[in-house]
Structure 1
Amino acid sequence: MKRFLIYIFTIISVTSFAQDKDKEKEQKEALKKANNYVYEGNELAVNDDFVSAEMAYRKAISKEPTSVAGAYNLGTSYFNEGSYNEALYRLQQATKSATSKEEKYKAFHNIGNILMKENKCQEAVDAYKNALRNNPTDNETRYNLALAKKCAEDQKDDQEQQDDSKDDQNKDQDQDQNQNENKENEDQQDKEEGDNKEDNKDQGDQDKKEGDDQKDDEGKPKDDKKDQGKGDDQEKEQQKPQPQQGQLSPQQVKNLLEAMNNQEQKVQEKMNAEKQKGVKIQTEKDW
């Protein structure tokens, strides 16, 4: 039983080893074909036959998806043709497949150049820094990094100015809007006041009309004149001496005294007349 198990294990090990050998052989053949397509594409690119070169590089990638040379050269070709989005995609693909620092350095360097073409300066700074991490001695990448930093700073300043200008514009718009709203409120208030004045005027005209109807030809209120006449009569009555109950008025007392005086005077005159008739005239003194 023990021998059988060992025998089985040996058979499995031999089979696995054979499969690995076959797989490795297939990978080598695929890589060889991919390199041949890359070489073919390079020849076509030198002769400015970009369309044919692109097809050769694509064949290389289809044979070996991890082909760094195929992705890198295809991306570089797109870059030379001005197709920056495709170039960026292929070069990023190359950085993921690259196994050596040299391959990564070249890919990141060209990525930085593409980003600078698209004015993505801060992203270009990051790309050049990655290139220098894999090849710190490259002066061209260092120079490009300095340009990218200056570009990024300028863009930052421009953005801040645009933000400030936008804020000022928003403030002006808010101020204009507030002024318009205030003006609308004032206009509405003036309109309401005008309506109230018109209503008050109409009411005043109505009151005036009613007042005119109550006035006579002299412009005096009819009721007031009537009431005024009554008031004058009442005032005159009040000014007259009003006899109190059980007493004579001064005028009545005066009239009564005059009558008494006249009566007394008449009686006195009558008595004097009678005396004169019965007395003799004395001419001499009677001693």
Structure 2
Amino acid sequence: MKNFKYIFILGLALISINSFAQKERKYIRQGNKEFEKADYDNSEVSYRKAVDLEEKKTHEPEFNVGDALYKQEKYDDAAEQFKNLADYELSKEEKAKVYHNLGNSFLQSKKYQKSIEAFKNALRNNPTDLDTKYNLAYAQKKLEEQQQQQQQQDQDQNEDKQNQNQDKNKQDKQDQNKEQQQQQQPEISKEDAERILQALANDEKDTQQKVKEQQAAAAKVKVEKEW
């Protein structure tokens, strides 16, 4: 699938310029200039000043605040801004624009399920918007990829856990066999040990006696020969 289209709808223009208060419009124009220069921090400040001076709730400066937040990559804040706007009584066209940008904000935060719902709401208000349709399809594909990746991670974790259990069982079995072998080794009683020691002592005594006898015999033979 092609890369996601970063199509962002700027400004609602709900009513004509003449209906805005002078200062409010001044800040909106200032914010627009800053926005065009990619000075999104200051454009947000200007738009917020316009919101504070807004006499009739047209919601254009509030919408533009959401745009500025989005451009600053403050996607969660932008989503909150558009979400609040969606609760107002707007025309179907305006609602579609708000939900479109809400969907984009969720999409950038990798909240694909929420993004899909927002794009669907946008299409309910403007079924012919091709950009929203494209972004909806893109979000659906990203959600599928995310779910597959999560499924693979879960499977890998389960396999690792099974391997660890097998290794543990193998080690436990080896330890058990070693313990059994040690237990199976014949034990000697105290009485048997004493008998064996006594027998060894007797053998040693007999051996020493034989050695003495042999030495005496050898000495006798030697004397007889010399004489």
Which of the five TM-score ranges fits, normalised by the shorter chain?
A: 0.5 to 0.7
Partner residue in 2 for 1:225: none
> What is the letter of the counterpart of residue 189 of structure 1?
Q
Structure 2, unmatched stretches of 5+, are 1-18, 207-227
Could you tell me how far 1:35 is from its partner in structure 2? 5.0
SS in 1 for 2:139: helix
Could you tell me how far 1:158 is from its partner in structure 2? 2.0
1:149 equivalenced with 2:149 (yes/no):
no
From the superposition, tell whether residues 95 and 180 of structure 1 become closer, same or farther in structure 2 (CA, over 3 Å): same
> What is the letter of the counterpart of residue 164 of structure 1?
Q
Could you tell me how far 1:64 is from its partner in structure 2? 4.6
1:138-169, CA deviations, whole angstroms, 9 ceiling, x for partnerless residues? 11101111111122122222222222222111
Partner residue in 1 for 2:44: 54
Partner residue in 1 for 2:196: 208
Partner residue in 2 for 1:84: 75
Find the structure with the greater CA-based Rg. Answer: 1
How far, CA to CA, are the matches of 2:180 and 2:171 in structure 1? 14
| Runs of 4+ with >6 A deviation | 29-32, 212-215
> What is the letter of the counterpart of residue 96 of structure 1?
D
Partner residue in 1 for 2:28: 38
From the superposition, tell whether residues 117 and 51 of structure 1 become closer, same or farther in structure 2 (CA, over 3 Å): closer
How far, CA to CA, are the matches of 2:81 and 2:91 in structure 1? 17
Could you tell me how far 1:107 is from its partner in structure 2? 1.5
From the superposition, tell whether residues 73 and 30 of structure 1 become closer, same or farther in structure 2 (CA, over 3 Å): same
Provide the identity percentage. 30
**Residue among 87, 104, 126 paired with 1:113:** 104
Q: Which structure has the higher relative contact order (CA within 8 Å, separation 6+)?
A: 2
**Residue among 63, 70, 75 paired with 2:66:** 75
How far, CA to CA, are the matches of 2:191 and 2:20 in structure 1? 105
Question: Taking structure 1 as the reference length, what is the TM-score of the superposition?
Answer: 0.55
Question: Taking structure 2 as the reference length, what is the TM-score of the superposition?
Answer: 0.68
From the superposition, tell whether residues 182 and 32 of structure 1 become closer, same or farther in structure 2 (CA, over 3 Å): farther
1:61-104, CA deviations, whole angstroms, 9 ceiling, x for partnerless residues? 33459662222111111212322222222222222235222222
